[in-house]
Amino acid sequence: MAITDILSAKDIESALSSCQAADSFNYKSFFSTVGLSSKSPDQIKKVFGILDQDKSGFIEEEELQLFLKNFSSSARVLTIAETKAFLAAGDTDGDGKIGVEGRIWGNLAKL
């Protein structure tokens, strides 16, 4: 399954263009612009599965740094500061990874 099976290419392009500059990524804004906040919990879990490159059930720091590249291969890598802030927002138990039921993914539809 491709991410464009769930999200529109136009919304992805718009979301990526809003955070082209280093240290401009805001996950709440990105999720809203890309259209994730209007998706069903099942669709959100499917997107999580696409982003979970190693299929571990979690998104680890290394995967998170490449987050934008999942939406477009030409997108930039998140900075260390962006990656750490994103991880801190979603890591509910301090284990250094984000699970599908965590604060970010579990509450996406409520953003």
pTM for this predicted structure: 0.88
**Domain holding 81: CATH number?**
1.10.238.10
User: Does 95 show up as a binding residue in the annotation?
Assistant: yes
- Partners of 59 in the β-ladder: 98
Q: What is the pLDDT of residues 98-109, one digit of tens each?
A: 888 765 665 544
The total number of structural domains that make up the chain? 1
| Domain enclosing residue 84, as ranges | 8-109
Amino acid 90: pLDDT: 85
The pair of three-digit structure tokens given for residue 11, joined into one six-digit string: 């919304």
Spatial distance between the Cα atoms of 26 and 20, rounded to a whole number of angstroms? 11
User: Does 93 show up as a binding residue in the annotation?
Assistant: yes
Assigned domain for 3 exists? no
Q: What is the pLDDT of residues 34-68, one digit of tens each?
A: 998 888 888 988 999 999 999 999 999 999 999 99
Which candidate, 45, 46, 87, 83, places its Cα nearest to that of 66? Answer: 83
Assigned domain for 1 exists? no
Assigned domain for 76 exists? yes
User: Does 56 show up as a binding residue in the annotation?
Assistant: yes
User: Does 23 show up as a binding residue in the annotation?
Assistant: no
User: Does 5 show up as a binding residue in the annotation?
Assistant: no
Spatial distance between the Cα atoms of 2 and 42, rounded to a whole number of angstroms? 15
